[in-house]
Amino acid sequence: MAEQTMAGRALALPQSIGRRALWQRRHLFERLQPYLYLLPVIITLGIWIYWPLVRTVYLSFFQWNLLPTTPMIYVGWENYRRILGLPEMQQAIRNTVVYTLGIMPLSVIIPLIVALFTDNIGKRWRNLYRGLIFIPMLIAPVVVSIIWRWLLNPTVGIVNYALTGGTFAEPINFFRGETIAIWTIIGITGWKLVGFSTLIFSAAITNINRDYIEAASIDGANYRQIVRSIILPLLSPTVLLLVMLSVLLVSQWSFAYINVLTQGGPLGATTNVYYILYTYGFRTFAIGWSSAAAVILFITFGLLAAGLLSLINRYSFYDS
């Protein structure tokens, strides 16, 4: 008996060590698991977003023309100094502000008004309207550009036909007129967005607790008062969200229309910061300038986004 147990112990000892090592290994695997699941996303974003960000900052201190055979020349802060002094860059920055503010009526104000007026429309109608109003959002930017180039054509387009009463005498040149061109691009960008924003506001209004409105109307408040003191405050996070989307994305979204329809012209009148980045990078191959501009742009928009996000957080306490 004693011998047996001794033998058993002698055998059991290494076995328990083995089991323990196995257990530890499994424990390690357990702990590593979440990282393994995250690996594809981490690797992709690391290679295609974070690493290029670092590279862009690096390239912004060099002079280079994208050819692998030409050497990169270190120039320090020269690129930053140069691009901020360029008149075309200043024009692009001014235009970016015009784009951002000019889109607000189409991406925020009109959709908000329409959503407020259509809140009490019956469900069946609302679904039909929703389905139709959403269509521009689905259409590719290139197709949108082609459609509007045809509609707004100065010699055969239906818009000028209507404006000139069918004569095409003194048509409006929507894409080449120096003051109107940027508004044409803003209008096209807004055309694609307006239905989408309306749907977001409608969804937000539908989500408001009906009890508040009921209580206010029992207390004798009229619809305008309800809108002003209940609906609008509760909608403020949604308004801020759409403002943020407009600020961050509209200049990016207008890129396709600018590239297909005006190439930034006439005389740089429709160029914005994103478009000028592209032309420096892939038309004139001024990689240093493009990278320096990208760094400035990224920091500016990052700060704007941080500010707007903190505003959204401050206002969302209404919604409990």
Partner 1 sequence: MRARRRVSTTSTLTGHLLLVILIVIAIFPVYWMVATSFKAANALFQISLWPVNPTSENYRFVWENLPFGLMLGNTVAMASLQMISQLLTALLAAYAFARWKFWGSRLIFALIALTWLVPFQVTMIPNYVLLSRLGWLNTLYGLVIPHIASAFSVLLLFQNIKAFPTELIDSSRIDGATSWGTLWRVVIPNLRSPLAALGILLFISAWNEYFWPLLVMTKPERSVIQIGLQMFLTEQGDLWGPLMAAATMATLPIFVLYVILQRQVIDSFVKSGLR
Footprint on residues 27-46 left by partner 1 (CB under 8 A): 31, 33-35, 37-38, 40-42, 44-45
| Interface pattern 158-187 for partner 1 (x via CB under 8 A) | x--x----x---------------------
State in angstroms the smallest separation of the CB of 20 from partner 1: 21
Q: Which helix (DSSP H) or strand (DSSP E) does residue 74 occupy?
A: strand 73-74
Residue 63 bridge partners (DSSP): 73
The runs of H, that is alpha helices, within the chain are 2-45, 51-59, 78-85, 87-104, 110-117, 123-133, 135-138, 141-151, 158-163, 180-207, 210-218, 223-226, 232-257, 273-282, 287-315
Q: Is residue 51 involved in binding partner 1 (CB under 8 A)?
A: yes
Half-sphere exposure of 266 (CA within 13 A, CB side): 11
Which tokens sit at 223?
């619809």
1 binds partner 1 (CB under 8 A): no
**Could you tell me the two tokens for 68?**
């692998």
Which residues lie across from 74 on neighbouring strands? 62
Q: Which one of residues 14, 71, 76, 131 is an interface residue with partner 1 (CB under 8 A)? A: 131
Among 121, 215, 232, 267, binds partner 1 (CB under 8 A): 121
Q: Residue from 72, 133, 163, 208 that binds partner 1 (CB under 8 A)?
A: 133
Of the pair 89, 114, the CB lying nearest partner 1 is at 114
23 binds partner 1 (CB under 8 A): no
Q: By CB under 8 A, what part of segment 216-255 binds partner 1?
A: 223, 241-242, 245, 248-249, 252, 255
Question: What is the footprint of partner 1 within residues 71-90 (CB under 8 A)?
Answer: none
Structure tokens at 49: 């977003």
